[in-house]
Structure 1
């Protein structure tokens, strides 16, 4: 379902030569640089910090906090899917080339709660697929 971001990495994803998807960040690329590259490419970026996240509730709390999800986010899987297919909460003035969600410390979350991580990854993949053909696609990087 998820593969490593192919060479030449994040620049190709942001330029549109690598299709949007849910990718693992190659070890040669730093998560800190990903959002800066996204901004330079006129993509809106969000940094989901998963350090210390070991279950579904903590994951959804991190999403609410770090993604600044709207008040109507119900902290359940369906509500997360709804938020990721209605990005009006993420939009600012102007239309970006795309949206990049960087989920850092994904491996720790996956080891601690593999079933929850698989569910979250499926929701992220569905959201990426939903936006894939739009003028402003969504891409997810698991770091």
Structure 2
């Protein structure tokens, strides 16, 4: 999936980690999310849109955030955080409708009112991973 892109991959998630996260998280999440973790359990690379960098959280971090309700931040209810930009932006599934919708970036200081769509769905998001804005225009 990411082998031909500018992506710093981590080791794949173990079968145990994948089983644990599949059991803990909503069953409505796209299979492509679990496929990504099976390829790289964490990692970093460019995005062609704001916030222009993506750091994928490993399974353990996603589970900690999910179980703690985004580290006891009730203002982030309805978002399933699975990464960030390496600085102050979170990247999350927008789950406010009950189903995973758009992938959004959220400023950690401003909160959910800063939510900005990065991709309309996870498949579109994955297609952008590892591409700079220049690369993506050529695709």
TM-score category of the 2 structures, normalised to the smaller one: under 0.3
Bigger fraction of residues in helix: 1
TM-score by length of 2: 0.28
TM-score (norm 1): 0.27
Q: Which structure dedicates a bigger proportion of its chain to strand?
A: 2
